[in-house]
Structures are given as structure tokens and as C-alpha cells.
Amino acid sequence: MSWRVDYLPEAMDDFDHLDGSQRILVRKAIAKVSKNPLCSADGGYGKPLGQSGSTNLTGFMTIKLKNCGLRVVYQLVRTDQEMRVIVIGARADDEVYEEAHNRIGKHQLTR
């Protein structure tokens, strides 16, 4: 059973700004991970994030699409079996993680 996938409005904009081939890859990756979005330590596909520099993303997960240099940061809302996509973007110097940190604060998401 797949978890329901929800996107922050900004994450939907991120998705819309990808080129066609990137959209296909991201859509497939999110669909695969939504079947078991738990962290890899719990047998799922998610890679847990932590604290790095000024960004604390503890409690959030990432999907790494290494071939195209994209990252998807998401949060699990276990009470609703929801996988909430926070940001989709290029890895470029951890920019995607800084943007995730900003959006988490803006939307007051809890860990």
C-alpha cells in the first residue's frame, strides 16, 4: 500500500520547472519511494537527513537521483500515512537542503 503523496505549493512549482525527462525521473522515484517511504534503517527507501552547518533537517528524508543531480526532500506524516514533498531541486552546494530548511520554517512544519 502506497502512502499518499502531498506537495508543498513551492515543491509543485519546483516540479513544474523541471524539464520533461527530469519530471519523469522524479515522478517515478516518488512513486517508488511512496510504497515504503520509511528510512532505510527501517527497511524503507528514504535516506534520513540530520544537521549540517546551519540547516537542521533531522526528521526529514531525501531521495537522491544521482544520475541527474536532483534531490527530493520529504517529511512523513505518520498519522495520515502521508509523504509530504518539501523541495525538489539540484544538489548544487547543498542549496536544496538550505531551501528545505527555509520552507520548513515558513510552513511551520514540525519534526
Domain ranges of the chain: 4-106
pLDDT-derived band at 24 (thresholds 50, 70, 90) equals: very high
User: What amino acid is encoded at 87 in this protein?
Assistant: V
C-alpha span between 69 and 43 (Å, rounded): 24
C-alpha span between 74 and 63 (Å, rounded): 8
How many other CB atoms are found less than 10 A from the CB of residue 27? 13
Residues 72 and 62 sit within 8 Å (Cβ to Cβ): yes
Architecture of domain 4-106: 2-Layer Sandwich (3.30)
pLDDT at res. 47: 93
Residue 80 has pLDDT above 90, yes or no: no
| Lookup result for grid cell 531541486 | 89
3-state secondary structure of 4: strand
pLDDT at res. 93: 74
